[in-house]
Amino acid sequence: MIHDTTDQWPKPELERYRWSVLLTTLAVALGGVSLFALQHYSKTAAINAEVQKKSEPLIATVTAPGRLQPQGEVVNLSAPSAAGGRSRVLQLRVKEGDTLRKGQIVAVLDSRDRLQADVDEAKSQVAMAQAKLAQVRAGVRTGEVNTQLTEIAKIKADIARNEADQRELITRLETQYEGDLAQQNATLRRLEAAFRNAALEYERYDRLYGEGVVSNAQRDGKRLSYETAQQQVSEAQAAIERTTATAERQIQDAKARLVTLKAVGDQQLAQAKANVHRVAEVRPVDIRAAQAEVEQAQATLKQAEVKLEEAYVRSPQDGTVLEILTRPGEVIGREGIAEIGQTDHMYAIAEIYQSDIFKIQPGQRATVTSDSLHQNLTGTVERVDTKIQPSNRISADPTAPREARIVEVHIQLDRASSDLAKNLTNLQIKAAIEL
């Protein structure tokens, strides 16, 4: 039997005990209600978040690998084709990272000095032609006729001397040929006699060997002498043929040279005689001819200046020097002198699989990422190439087709993104294009 001991407590203590029990019970009740409310709120918040997440629209994208490149692609600056296939860099006037303006000199080729000399020569020819024109317009002096007559006499003397020298050369060649031929024929006759003797000796020893009189070694010795003599005869005959062919060719060339000298001399003489008649008086036709010579000299000068300009390799556009490919003193190879790009306007070139290309349209937004970038780049699809080509990339995705065919999509980066990418030409990137 349990007895209620509270009856034995003093009245003040009993009153405090009852209040303590009441407050404890009330606190426990409030705690349970709070816990229930908190759990209910957490579940409701999670459900609401899930509903909101499901209700948010998903952004569809096409993702593809690619690279960064300047506007207009990278230009491989090389020597002009007219400069020749073995041009060498004489001077390099830029370095990597330099900013270029269109027309700025990038390099000077080793042909510059030679072409500059051609320009100087052409200028002197222009000056001479202009002086001649001025002289023709002023009228011809009597002394010029005498000068032309003196020139005619000089040409005649030159013709006679040249023809005499050439005839002397022909005679000397013929005499030398006859002497060489006689000497070689004498040598041939001697060798032929030795060959006949060797043949008889070999024939005799071969017979004696058959009779057992001489040994095989003796017979072989005679056969060797016979074959050696035969070879010497053949060589002597070949030497005569070579001597004859060489001498005939030299004599024919000398005779042809004589004919040429005579023809040239006659032409010079005729020209000099014609000059005498031309300088006898001033005619309008003479002035026109002198003027034509001036114009021809000026045209030659202009052509020389154009060729000289080809010795200076200039930038075809504004841009930045990305890489120097050929140093001073080196021959320009297929790769060119330098790579130039318009890095003020950077693009991302995405390689889209041909199966996805119909989803891509100009104006779509794109995000560009790379492990080398501290932040994502953004841009807008500017154009889609019309050419399908094989991809040269090796994909790490085992499900990717081995011979993937792609279309390049050009994404113009926003200004801020372009500034971040201006020093990252050819960086491999991944582009996500929003559909």
Per-residue tokens: 233: 């005869």
Q: Does 105 fall in a domain?
A: yes
Instruction: State yes or no: pLDDT of 424 exceeds 80.
Output: yes
Distance CA 341, CA 67 (A): 14
pLDDT band at 142 (very low <50, low <70, confident <90, very high): low
- Highest mean pLDDT among 53-67, 366-380, 389-403 belongs to 366-380
Q: What is the DSSP-derived secondary structure letter of residue 393?
A: -
- Percentage of residues in the chain having pLDDT higher than 90: 29
What average pLDDT does the segment 250-257 reach? 87
Specify the pLDDT at position 3: 46
Instruction: State yes or no: pLDDT of 64 exceeds 90.
Output: yes
Query: Is residue 346 located within the same domain as residue 420?
Result: yes
Query: Is residue 418 located within the same domain as residue 331?
Result: yes
Query: Is residue 36 located within the same domain as residue 163?
Result: no
Instruction: State yes or no: pLDDT of 33 exceeds 70.
Output: no
Instruction: State yes or no: pLDDT of 332 exceeds 60.
Output: yes
Query: Is residue 214 located within the same domain as residue 179?
Result: yes
| pTM as predicted | 0.46
Instruction: State yes or no: pLDDT of 1 exceeds 50.
Output: no
State which of 253, 281, 309 marks the end of a domain: 281
Q: Does 286 fall in a domain?
A: no
Find, among 61, 5, 41, the residue nearest to 431 by Cα. Answer: 61
Specify the pLDDT at position 166: 84
Instruction: State yes or no: pLDDT of 37 exceeds 60.
Output: no
What average pLDDT does the segment 388-405 reach? 65
Instruction: State yes or no: pLDDT of 245 exceeds 60.
Output: yes
Cβ atoms within 10 A of the Cβ of 212, count? 7
Cβ atoms of 280 and 140 within 8 Å: the answer is: yes
Query: Is residue 217 located within the same domain as residue 173?
Result: yes
Instruction: State yes or no: pLDDT of 63 exceeds 90.
Output: yes
Query: Is residue 382 located within the same domain as residue 257?
Result: no
Specify the pLDDT at position 48: 56
pLDDT-wise least confident of 256-260, 279-283, 411-415, 421-425: 279-283
| Number of independent structural domains in the chain | 3
Q: Does 309 fall in a domain?
A: no
Query: Is residue 276 located within the same domain as residue 150?
Result: yes
State which of 281, 311, 339 marks the end of a domain: 281
Q: Does 121 fall in a domain?
A: no
Query: Is residue 69 located within the same domain as residue 28?
Result: no
Q: Does 290 fall in a domain?
A: no
What average pLDDT does the segment 105-125 reach? 92
Query: Is residue 230 located within the same domain as residue 333?
Result: no
Q: Which residues contact 225 (CB under 8 A, 6 or more apart)?
A: 198, 201, 202
Query: Is residue 10 located within the same domain as residue 87?
Result: no
Terminal Cα distance for the chain, rounded: 84
Buried b (16+ CB within 10 A) or exposed e, 273-300: eebbebbeeeeeebeeebbebbeebbeb
What average pLDDT does the segment 412-424 reach? 91
Model confidence pLDDT, tens digit, residues 265-322: 888 888 887 777 766 666 788 788 889 999 999 999 999 999 999 889 998 888 889 8
Cβ atoms of 414 and 357 within 8 Å: the answer is: no
- At 126, which helix (H) or strand (E)? helix 112-138
pLDDT band at 409 (very low <50, low <70, confident <90, very high): very high
Specify the pLDDT at position 14: 57
Q: Does 11 fall in a domain?
A: yes
Domain that holds residue 246: 140-281
Find, among 309, 305, 306, 311, the residue nearest to 121 by Cα. Answer: 305
Cβ atoms within 10 A of the Cβ of 1, count? 2
Specify the pLDDT at position 2: 42
State which of 40, 55, 70 marks the end of a domain: 55
Specify the pLDDT at position 428: 94
What average pLDDT does the segment 231-244 reach? 90
Specify the pLDDT at position 219: 87
Residue 148: which CATH number? 1.10.287
Query: Is residue 47 located within the same domain as residue 87?
Result: no
Q: Does 314 fall in a domain?
A: no
Specify the pLDDT at position 19: 66
Query: Is residue 400 located within the same domain as residue 271?
Result: no
pLDDT band at 51 (very low <50, low <70, confident <90, very high): very low
Cβ atoms of 321 and 97 within 8 Å: the answer is: yes
Specify the pLDDT at position 128: 94
What average pLDDT does the segment 328-347 reach? 88
What average pLDDT does the segment 87-96 reach? 89
pLDDT-wise least confident of 49-53, 56-60, 317-321: 49-53
Instruction: State yes or no: pLDDT of 347 exceeds 80.
Output: yes
Specify the pLDDT at position 302: 94
Specify the pLDDT at position 359: 92
Specify the pLDDT at position 36: 55
Q: Does 93 fall in a domain?
A: yes
What average pLDDT does the segment 30-57 reach? 55
pLDDT band at 378 (very low <50, low <70, confident <90, very high): very high
